Structures are given as C-alpha cells and as structure tokens.
Amino acid sequence: MKTVRYSMMSQYFLRWLLFIDLVCSQFQSRIHVGDFGTSFAPADPIELINTISVSSQIRCAQTCNVNPLCRTFDYDTLSKRCRLFEGEIATGQVNRSAAIPPTSRVSSIAYTQQLYLAYNQTCDQCQVNRYLLCINNTCQCPPHTYWNGHMCLNEGYNGSLCQNDEWCRNDKNLTCSSSHLCGECIH
C-alpha cells in the first residue's frame, strides 16, 4: 500500500517536473513509473543507449526525455545508476528477479497515436517534438524505428513479425523474409 502511494506520488511529481521541462526544453512526455525491484532487459543489448550516474530519478527521466531515441529507462536510487534504452517497454522484459536491488525500478515513456499527427508533414509541424525528427524537410521517425501507419515503432530483431524491410533492424543486416519474419539476409 505504501509502495503504491509513493509510486503515485512520484508519478505526480515527475509529471509536474516534466511540465517545467516543457517550458525549458520544449519537450513534454507522460512517464509511467514502475515498481521497485525491477530492471529493464531490452530485446537486444544494442538498445542500451547510455549508462550514467545522476542524483535523482527525475534527472534520469529528464535525460531520457530530451533524447528522442530513449523510450525506457531504469534508475537505482542507491547506486544512482541511470540506464537509457531505445526499446519501448513492451519490446523487452521487465526483470523482476530477486537479485534486482529493491531500490531499482523501470520507467517508460508513454507512446500514443496522438503524438504522431505531424508525421510526414513539413518540419514546421514538428519543431517542438521528441517523437518525430525533421529529415529532408519532413517530420519522420527517429533512427531504429519505422512507421506502421499510425506511430513510429522500434524495428524488430531476428524472428520478429514484419511487413517490409523497414520493420527490421537494418543496421544489424536484418530484412523481412517472405514468411514475414525479420532475419539475416542471405546473399
């Protein structure tokens, strides 16, 4: 009960602080704060963007928020370790092993279709935006993500379902096979 209250309270503070952040950095996001005793296990180790040491969970959240590639982070209040990941929370696993410190927890940025209304429009529509980047003068998905018709989603790894090559991590030489699974291309 106490844990739940604390988690709701810190969620409130995070939203409040991220609103302040909006004023400063023109970036706004909704962050879901998870349970203590968890860490993030991404679909592939390549998704770890950075491991840094920061004084608080709020700073960890802000560092993630200003990086358009960052979708999930975990923070340990004891060791001060903040890890930033490219993968949206559902693409990996929330590790609840007993070996995870009770001071560590996973948080994730919430992604909805409403955040992508400026997709493929001219860049004046996405100047204030952490979800779409200005590429060739239009608003496009950030690296390592693809457009599924509604949102930018993380590209998949070996064995992920796909409709075309853009759905697969092409920097890992994965392409979409005729059976609609990402896999190593064989030449």
What's the closest the beta carbon of residue 134 comes to ligand NAG, in angstroms? 11
Tokens coding 90: 């559902």
Mask: binding to ligand NAG, 93-112, rule CB under 6 A, as x and -? x-x-x-xx------------
Q: Is 147 in the site for ligand NAG (CB under 6 A)?
A: yes
Minimum CB distance to ligand NAG smaller for 18 or for 94: 94
Tokens coding 99: 């070996």
CA 59, chain centre distance (Å): 16
Minimum CB distance to ligand NAG smaller for 29 or for 129: 129
Minimum CB distance to ligand NAG smaller for 68 or for 183: 183
Note every long-range contact of 11-20, with CB atoms under 8 Å and residues 24 or more positions apart, other chains counting: 13/58, 14/57, 14/58, 14/61, 14/107, 17/58, 17/61, 17/62, 18/61, 18/62, 18/65
76-95 residues near ligand NAG, rule: CB under 6 A = 93, 95
- Kindly give the interhelix angle for 2-25 and 57-65, rounded to the nearest 10 degrees: 40
Question: Footprint of ligand NAG on this chain (CB under 6 A)?
Answer: 41, 93, 95, 97, 99-100, 120, 135-136, 147, 158-159, 172-173, 183-184
